[in-house]
Amino acid sequence: MNRQTALITGATSGIGKAYAEYFARRGYDLILTGRRKEVITAVARELKKAHGIAVTVVIAELSNKEGVRPVLRTIEKAGDLSVLINNAGYGERKLFINLPVQKHLDMIEVHVNAALRLIHAALPRMINKKNGIIINVASLGAYAPAPINGIYGGTKSFLNVFTESLHMEVRRYGIKVQSLCPGFTRTDFHRKMGIEEEMKKNRMIHWMTPERVVIKSMKRLGKGKVICIPGIRNKLFYALARFMPRRLYYRMTEKLYGSYLGLSG
Ligand SMILES: NC(=O)c1ccc[n+]([C@@H]2O[C@H](COP(=O)([O-])OP(=O)(O)OC[C@H]3O[C@@H](n4cnc5c(N)ncnc54)[C@H](OP(=O)(O)O)[C@@H]3O)[C@@H](O)[C@H]2O)c1
């Protein structure tokens, strides 16, 4: 019997690494992408040893077309890709006008364009064999417009609409798709943004582990859920942010982000 292969972008740490562990435990061979070479090589080594699977590491900077090419070549060579998880992503903590426009375009490349390129390359064979899984890691931020969140939330919102539309195109071929919208998750994400300490102090924040997020994602995928918001508190936040009168929402959110907006106390 052919072994199945899962490709996960951004598997160095956090949610991507948790997906890698999930599929490794189930005997899938893996293709993992990341940029921190030593860290992702160590992750690959551990998974190979623990589960007796094959792991290919692709060091890839996904913020430009050239960086995505080695991943596309690996998809071509893989022959039989069963799972594609577009997880690589990051946040910024500056107002729109305070970042060079290229930085915004880079984020769109990583969250949107790279994901689209990989899906477009992987889909034909999934359609042919009438089976496959595609998960795009979006964010609860897709539903929470806020200062400093315009491009991040916008790209994640794009992934939600795109994924639901794709679902309607490919479900007839037995392909399952999902847009995962996690809330605060304990990964390297906030440390890289330089706000880990600030967030740790905030008692209002409910954190989930990446492993729990992935279990929820896979359970919901099994039930055919296309948009997955893991965790009851995240679902409540979603409902509140979505249905609160907009003017009230803007006022409350501006207050929350007062330090970025230069508002006093
Ligand atoms: N943590 C949260 O609270 C949270 C909440 C909602 C959604 N998310 C989403 O979850 C996904 C995974 O993030 P995480 O929380 O697990 O953070 P993480 O631990 O920092 O992992 C992010 C992964 O993405 C890779 N990556 C980042 N920028 C990249 C780029 N320009 N090119 C190629 N790879 C890049 C990183 O590679 P290297 O580290 O090797 O550079 C790393 O493997 C992201 O899409 C994020 O937006 C996270």
Q: Say how many Å lie between the CA of residue 88 and the centre of ligand 1.
A: 5
Residue 197 has a pLDDT of 86
Q: Which of 226, 115, 214, 218 has its CA nearest to residue 168? A: 226
Residue 108 has a pLDDT of 98
Residue 203 has a pLDDT of 80
Residue 153 beta carbon below 6 angstroms from any ligand 1 atom: no
Residue 115 has a pLDDT of 98
Residue 187 beta carbon below 6 angstroms from any ligand 1 atom: yes
Residue 264 has a pLDDT of 62
Which stretch of DSSP H or E encloses residue 68?
A: helix 65-78
Residue 57 beta carbon below 6 angstroms from any ligand 1 atom: no
Residue range of the domain that includes 47: 5-261
What is the residue whose two structure tokens read 């993992």? 32
- The number of distinct structural domains making up the chain is 1
- CA-derived radius of gyration, the chain: 18
**Which ligand 1 atom lies nearest to the CA of residue 13?**
19
Residue 177 has a pLDDT of 98
Sheet holding 132-137, edge to edge: 55-59, 29-34, 5-8, 81-86, 132-137, 175-180, 227-228
Report residues of the chain scoring pLDDT below 50.
none
- CATH number at 129 reads 3.40.50.720
Which stretch of DSSP H or E encloses residue 151?
A: helix 150-170
How far CA 153 is from CA of 46, 67, 112, in Å, comes to 34, 23, 12
Which positions are catalytic? 152
**Which ligand 1 atom lies nearest to the CA of residue 61?**
32
Residue 14 beta carbon below 6 angstroms from any ligand 1 atom: yes
Report the distance separating Cα 57 and Cα 30, nearest Å: 8
pTM exceeding 0.85? yes
